[in-house]
Chain A
């Protein structure tokens, strides 16, 4: 089975532009989480979606939005890009996303490296 896939792998944008990043979870996984990893730091939580509903949101401005589709794939959108948005954007999928009260393993995709010039 394929792991978590993300597209594109790399992306270069200029300030003020908009970007859409895509994630396909492992087959059977219903939960998708997005993380931002700035160079030299640990990842920071942006969003979690489960069954097309937002389950969690990190401390990010409203320029960041996401959605999940019926096939459980997900898109992360960032509007009005700033230089500080340059980062590796990671997507992680898991089976249930903690609904059962039991921690489940998150599987990470390879990431999309976004550079804002």
Chain B
């Protein structure tokens, strides 16, 4: 079983729809990242969370530490939001590394 699980694996939405991507993890963490990866590879960091909620434009990320769960929401989705969204956690084991453990990603396609 992967330490970081995402759902759904694939998501197709119509432009304007509200989108939710979920992430569950099984380890204690010091931080959780939401990342965006476009075809061709480049990864962009969207959010880093250790508690609560963050908002940037149409993107909202929430985390529930007790339930080991995070969600990424996209409001008023647009075709340019089409990408792979990846959840990654930094395990809190007291070590000095900032190694990230990644989920397998959610492929989002927003149709006009």
Contact = CB atoms under 8 A, between A and B. Distances in A.
A97 B96 CA distance: 7
A106 interface: yes
Size bracket of the A interface: 20 to 34
Interface stretch (A12-20, A40-48, A64-72, A73-81): A40-48
A108 B97 contact: no
B45 A98 contact: no
Contact of A97 (B30, B42, B97): B97
Interface string B70-112: 0000000000000000101010000111111111110000000
A74 B30 CA distance: 26
B7 interface: no
A108 B42 CA distance: 7
B11 interface: no
A107 B95 contact: no
The 8 A-B residue pairs whose C-beta atoms are closest, nearest first, are A56-B97, A103-B31, A42-B102, A108-B43, A111-B41, A98-B98, A45-B99, A110-B42
